[in-house]
């Protein structure tokens, strides 16, 4: 499938052309609606705080109601000097305007009004994986092994679609628990394409400023600024370990400081006791062989050597037992413990290159569309 980006002007509520089309009752784009800021204000009760369902580095998300259906409205404010907000708005439109997949969040429409940018999505009744699964033990108890399996496979299929089934390919760049939304049936939807990048037909990577979330960030990308589809594979591997273990990518306690899930999983694997990190709230209600297989796939995805990480279509086959991994050899994971290490390594790289990558890295978050 090929798709094209219309440019943000097509979403302007002040555009005469748009007004004429709306009066005629004709959609400007058959895949999404052009909203006015007035419509979105009414839908969200003037963006009332009691309708706020999430907040992240690039915007605030509100629940709204429009023509009898619930929706989620993401509000981005454009910073003139840095153009933060504008880049994210355009990236989301470029990625989502003309694609549809069961495991990708659906863009319902957009709007431009002054320095405000609005993106409208289907509302997800069960918020994000970070909000619903991770954290409190009571939350985790609501997720059976079957639910976790289906969520893991669904996310893998969504990313595989972005990487291999459309043209140009899309690298998400911020695969993490708070960017996986769950509908009323716990069907996962990959969301928040504000950092996504398009890969041309003959491109293997894109060089860009480093952005993402500590704990999910592929080390080679953090150091070089070269983002590839294997960067997303790394993020998915961390996410898969989170789903199966019920633990966050990065934990912190006063006595021992930060704990990284990838490191814990690798240490358990080396002791031949990988099932030790399985979520105890499952109460042994899981098929041990399949659980071990999922954890091994997670470790395969976070291997330090990029070429050893499987493509996402292969990951799907592994998770659905179409590819046997019982005898596969797993090499040590890539680890990037802290932001200071990133900056040190970047400075080292910058001595041999003319344009070192800048860094915009978020701490792990539980925000809806963070």
Model confidence at 362: pLDDT above 50: yes
| pLDDT value at residue 232 | 96
Surface-to-core class of residue 5, CB atoms within 10 Å of its CB (0-12 exposed, 13-18 middle, 19+ buried): middle
Average pLDDT over residues 299-322: 97
Q: What is the pLDDT of residue 206?
A: 57
**Confidence check: pLDDT of 360 > 70:** no
Strand partners, 362: 213
pLDDT class of 296 with cuts at 50, 70, 90: very high
224 near 218, Cβ under 8 Å? no
Separation CA 365–CA 370 (nearest Å): 7
User: H-helix or E-strand containing 74?
Assistant: strand 69-77
What pLDDT, on a 0 to 100 scale, did the predictor assign at position 57? 61
Query: Which range is most confident: 57-66, 316-325, 352-361?
Result: 316-325
Query: Which regions of the chain carry the CATH code 3.30.200.20?
Result: 8-122
DSSP label at residue 122:
E
Catalytic pick from 45, 113, 122, 174?
174
Predicted confidence at residue 295, as pLDDT, reads 98
Residue 326 has what pLDDT? Answer: 87
Q: Active site includes 251?
A: no
Quick one: average pLDDT of 76-100? 78
The answer to whether residues 198 and 168 touch, using CB atoms and an 8 Å cutoff, is: yes
Query: 77-81, 181-185, 271-275, 333-337: which has the minimum mean pLDDT?
Result: 77-81
**pLDDT class for 81, splitting at 50, 70, 90?**
low
For position 27, what pLDDT does the model report?
A: 38
252 Rama sector, left if φ>0, alpha if ψ -120 to 50, beta otherwise? beta
- Per CATH, the number for 129-362 is 1.10.510.10
Report pLDDT for 114: 84
161/199: higher pLDDT: 161
Residues of CATH 1.10.510.10 domain(s) within the chain?
Answer: 129-362
3-state secondary structure at position 299:
helix
- Of 52-56, 60-64, 229-233, 292-296, where does mean pLDDT reach its minimum? 52-56
Say yes or no to pLDDT of 112 above 50: yes
For the cut 90, the answer to whether the pLDDT of residue 337 exceeds it is no
pLDDT exceeds 90 at position 79? no
Residue 302 or residue 339, greater confidence: 302
* Start-to-end Cα distance in the chain: 28
pLDDT single digits (tens) 202-248: 454 455 567 778 889 999 988 888 889 999 999 999 999 999 999 99
- Contacts of 44 by beta carbon, 8 Å cutoff, 6+ apart: 51, 62, 63, 64, 73
Q: Is 108 annotated as a binding residue?
A: no
Residues 182-210, mean pLDDT to the nearest whole number: 77
From the options 2.60.40.10, 3.30.200.20, 3.30.300.90, 1.10.390.10, give the CATH code of 8-122: 3.30.200.20
């Amino acid at each position: 499938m090929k798709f094209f980006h219309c440019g943000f002007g097509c979403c302007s509520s002040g555009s005469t052309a748009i007004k004429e089309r709306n009066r005629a009752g004709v959609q400007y784009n058959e895949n999404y609606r052009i909203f006015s800021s007035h419509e979105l204000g009414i839908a969200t009760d003037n963006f009332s705080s009691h309708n706020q369902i999430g907040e992240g580095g690039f915007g605030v998300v509100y629940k709204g109601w429009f023509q009898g259906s619930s929706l989620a409205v993401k509000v981005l404010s454009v910073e003139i000097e840095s153009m933060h907000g504008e880049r994210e708005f355009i990236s989301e439109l470029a990625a989502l305007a003309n694609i549809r997949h069961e495991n990708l969040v659906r863009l319902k429409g957009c709007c431009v009004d002054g320095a405000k940018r609005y993106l409208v999505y289907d509302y997800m009744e069960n918020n994000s994986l970070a909000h619903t699964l991770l954290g409190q033990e009571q939350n985790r108890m609501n997720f059976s092994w079957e639910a976790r399996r289906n969520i893991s496979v669904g996310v893998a299929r969504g990313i595989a679609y972005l990487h291999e089934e459309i043209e140009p390919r899309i690298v998400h760049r911020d695969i993490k628990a708070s960017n996986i939304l769950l509908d009323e049936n716990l069907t996962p939807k990959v969301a928040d394409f504000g950092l996504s990048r398009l890969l041309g037909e003959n491109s293997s990577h894109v060089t860009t400023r480093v952005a993402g979330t500590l704990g999910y960030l592929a080390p080679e990308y953090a150091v070089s600024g070269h983002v590839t589809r294997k960067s997303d594979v790394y993020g998915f591997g961390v996410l898969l370990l989170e789903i199966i273990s019920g633990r966050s990518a990065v934990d912190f306690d006063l006595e021992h400081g930060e704990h990284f899930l990838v490191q814990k999983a690798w240490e358990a694997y080396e002791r031949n006791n990988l099932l030790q990190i399985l979520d105890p709230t499952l109460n042994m209600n899981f098929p041990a062989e399949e659980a071990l297989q999922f954890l091994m796939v997670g470790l395969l995805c976070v291997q330090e050597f990029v070429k050893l990480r499987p493509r996402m279509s292969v990951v799907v086959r592994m998770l659905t037992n179409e590819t046997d991994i019982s005898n596969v050899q797993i090499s040590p994971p890539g680890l990037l413990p802290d932001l200071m290490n990133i900056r040190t390594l970047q400075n080292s790289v910058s001595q041999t290159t003319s344009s070192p990558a800048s860094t915009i890295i978020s701490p792990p978050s539980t925000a809806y569309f963070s």
